Amino acid sequence: MSRKPCCVGEGLKKGAWTAEEDKKLISYIHEHGEGGWRDIPQKAGLKRCGKSCRLRWTNYLKPDIKRGEFSYEEEQIIIMLHASRGNKWSVIGRHLPKRTDNEVKNYWNTHLKKRLIDNGIDPVTHKPLDSSNPGPAVPKKFDCQDKSLPDEHSVQWSSTTPASPLSSTINSVKPKISSGETQIESGFLRCKKRFERSSSTSRLLNKVAARASSIGNILSTSIEGTLSSPASSSCLPDSFSQSSEHMIDNKEDLSTSIDINIPEYDFPQFLEQFINDNDEAENTGGSNQDLLMSDVPSTFVDEDDIIGDITSWSTYLLDHPNFMYESDQDSEEKNFL
């Protein structure tokens, strides 16, 4: 049995909305609120189907919709969540305040997907496209290389540079250097350079990728409230359960209070902490597994406790909601140069 299309009707208008129609819809919703979409066209005096009205409202007319260019941070969030959730645009959209799922979907299809492919990353699996080579397949050049930068700022990956799927994917999105290129390097690029100098580059990159992937899972899972069920949380340490409850309690905050444009940026600090923690762990024999060749799946599960201290990890995220955001250039220069 096939259902009749909802928008079959005599004289129903299709296509682009006019300013007049927008005005009618807005004033009706302001007066009566959302919902009851089927009846709205008639009541608002529109020759549109209810579904069309709903879409127009949610994707375009709603007052708290943010339009325009996606920031680098928003791009990272999209990639991270896409790696862990796939084409769940509504889920991804919920993590981007004021962005609609439709906008996220469009942006992925027209920008990010293309960029990943250009950099040799499969946008579906988030793994290097050259799957015939099981080794450390990587883009020929570090993907954050900005053509506008002087040569000394171009980081070349060596053939042994590791690339877990997510690290490859995230690397593949060139940060947008703000106009004027006064931010000679983004914090991201500097982090990469720092990693290059590190003797444990491979492990670090893989772990960062693994943890980053997990952040996506943690955030998604917690915000959707699945961690609140005893069944799902019972397998986790008590400390994490408490932490996740804390996250759930704050899900409203997470979804609404994060201002993507906040210029604060703790990523360097986070990396410092991460590197220190990692070094400590290695010195004490706590982490001796080289993940260089490991294939961290996009839906990475920390079964082997690679993300050992998940409580402090999630706590860090809660305390530093802007950890991925661009820093003040000066303070960052001090940290990295």
Kindly list the residues in this chain that would bind DNA in the complex (CB under 7 A).
Answer: 1-3, 5-7, 13-17, 35-38, 48, 50-52, 54-56, 58-60, 67, 87-91, 101-103, 105-107, 109-111, 114
Return the number of the residue (113 or 153) whose C-beta is nearest DNA: 113
User: What are 90-93's contacts with CB under 8 Å, separation 24+?
Assistant: 91/220, 91/224
Return the number of the residue (13 or 193) whose C-beta is nearest DNA: 13
Tokens of 331: 């303070």
Instruction: Quote the Cα angle for 237-238-241, to 5°.
Output: 90
Residue 226 Cβ vs DNA, minimum distance, rounded to whole Å: 12
Query: Count of H helices and E strands in the chain?
Result: 16, 0
Q: How far is CA 27 from CA 16, 19, 21, 94, 277, in A?
A: 19, 12, 10, 26, 56
Tokens of 153: 């700022």
Distance CA 309, CA 296 (A): 18
Residue 284 Cβ vs DNA, minimum distance, rounded to whole Å: 43
Residue 38 Cβ vs DNA, minimum distance, rounded to whole Å: 4
Return the number of the residue (27 or 156) whose C-beta is nearest DNA: 27
Return the number of the residue (60 or 270) whose C-beta is nearest DNA: 60
128 forms beta bridges with 121
Return the number of the residue (14 or 30) whose C-beta is nearest DNA: 14
Tokens of 255: 């979804």
Return the number of the residue (29 or 210) whose C-beta is nearest DNA: 29
- Do 47 and 57 form a contact (C-beta atoms < 8 A)? no
- Do 58 and 100 form a contact (C-beta atoms < 8 A)? yes
Return the number of the residue (109 or 289) whose C-beta is nearest DNA: 109
Residue 178 Cβ vs DNA, minimum distance, rounded to whole Å: 18
CB-based burial of residue 77 (10 Å sphere; 0-12 exposed, 13-18 middle, 19+ buried)? Answer: buried
Residue 172 Cβ vs DNA, minimum distance, rounded to whole Å: 16
Instruction: Quote the Cα angle for 328-177-169, to 5°.
Output: 105
Distance CA 108, CA 105 (A): 5
Residue 63 Cβ vs DNA, minimum distance, rounded to whole Å: 15
- Do 197 and 61 form a contact (C-beta atoms < 8 A)? no
- Measured from the Cβ of residue 327, the count of other Cβ atoms closer than 10 Å reads 22
Residue 148 Cβ vs DNA, minimum distance, rounded to whole Å: 16
Residue 152 Cβ vs DNA, minimum distance, rounded to whole Å: 28
- Do 148 and 177 form a contact (C-beta atoms < 8 A)? yes
Return the number of the residue (40 or 163) whose C-beta is nearest DNA: 40
